[in-house]
Amino acid sequence: MSKIIITPLGTISPYTKGNMNCPGFLVEYNNKKILLDCGNGITRLLNFPNDLKDLSIIITHYHKDHFGDLGALQYASFVYHNLQLLDNKVKIYLPKNDISFNKESIISNNESYSDYYYINNSYSFLIDDLRISFEDNKSHTIESYMVKLQNKDFKIVYTSDIGTTNLNKLVDFCKNADLIICESSFLKAHNSNSKTHMTAYDASILASKSNVQKLLLTHFWPEEDKRLYLEEAKQNFKNVEVAKEGKKLILEKN
């Protein structure tokens, strides 16, 4: 039995509200953990020090709603290592190109028990047989990486922040995935005219064109009713769910 557990830790942007946090998804595979983005508030739902063990953190881009809690995790790794409760360093993966001072300020934190790796389109790494690869979606306001997690049983894509201007390339990256975790910042009713973020309907088009099995919506406007995103996406794609903090999604194959 092969199993991947995905727990949404943060689903809204650009600020926290109530029990909702900024973007973050915890992926568990073979007792190892991958944190897809590290937005403000997500540490509230982590179990310390256990979730620091065998942890890889991926920051998809240098917008602060996607790495606002990274400093807290760095300090936690430092403290738990000093308490002899954390043996292996936390692995932190960052976009190679710096945006202003963000990368330098992250890696210069001396009170952190972490190793750092730089990602670009050609970079990938393995966690057991699960390959993690990246592609700049070239449709957001800055360099922003989609993340693919794939082995013989599963193909999962986390889009991070994407727009609609590079749809064919996005479809190629997501093709035939078991699951895409897709940003859906807006509803059509918002009339945002944004090319650098998607509506729930745009996300459903991506899912349909990519022939994916399941669509998980995320990256919502904090003041909006999430049920409206679900209704809009279902106009074009049926197997869709709205991400909710703490609600686990389990993928299993024999």
pTM: 0.97
Neighbours of 174 (CB within 10 A): 24
Q: What percent of the chain has pLDDT over 70?
A: 100
pLDDT recorded at residue 200: 98
pLDDT digits (tens, 9 = 90+) for 45-81: 999 999 999 999 999 999 999 999 999 999 999 999 9
Over range 112-141, report the average pLDDT: 97
**What amino acid occupies position 1?**
M
- pLDDT confidence of 193, banded at 50, 70, 90? confident
- Read off the CATH number of the domain in which 92 is found: 3.60.15.10
Q: Say which residue, 231 or 122, is predicted with more confidence.
A: 231
- pLDDT confidence of 160, banded at 50, 70, 90? very high
> b vs e for 100-123, b when ≥16 Cβ sit within 10 Å of the residue's Cβ?
eebbeebbeeeebbbeeeebeeee
Domain count for the chain: 1
pLDDT recorded at residue 158: 98
- pLDDT confidence of 136, banded at 50, 70, 90? very high
Q: Cα angle vertex 11, ends 6, 196, to 5°?
A: 115
Over range 80-104, report the average pLDDT: 96
pLDDT recorded at residue 1: 77
pLDDT at 178 over 90: yes
pLDDT at 185 over 80: yes
pLDDT digits (tens, 9 = 90+) for 205-237: 999 999 999 999 999 999 999 999 999 999 999
Over range 31-49, report the average pLDDT: 98
pLDDT recorded at residue 99: 87
Residues with Cβ within 8 Å of residue 183, at least 6 apart in sequence: 159, 160, 161, 162, 197, 198, 203, 218, 219
pLDDT at 27 over 90: yes
- Phi-psi group of 193: left, alpha or beta (phi > 0 → left; psi -120 to 50 → alpha; rest → beta): left
Structural domain that includes position 210: 2-253
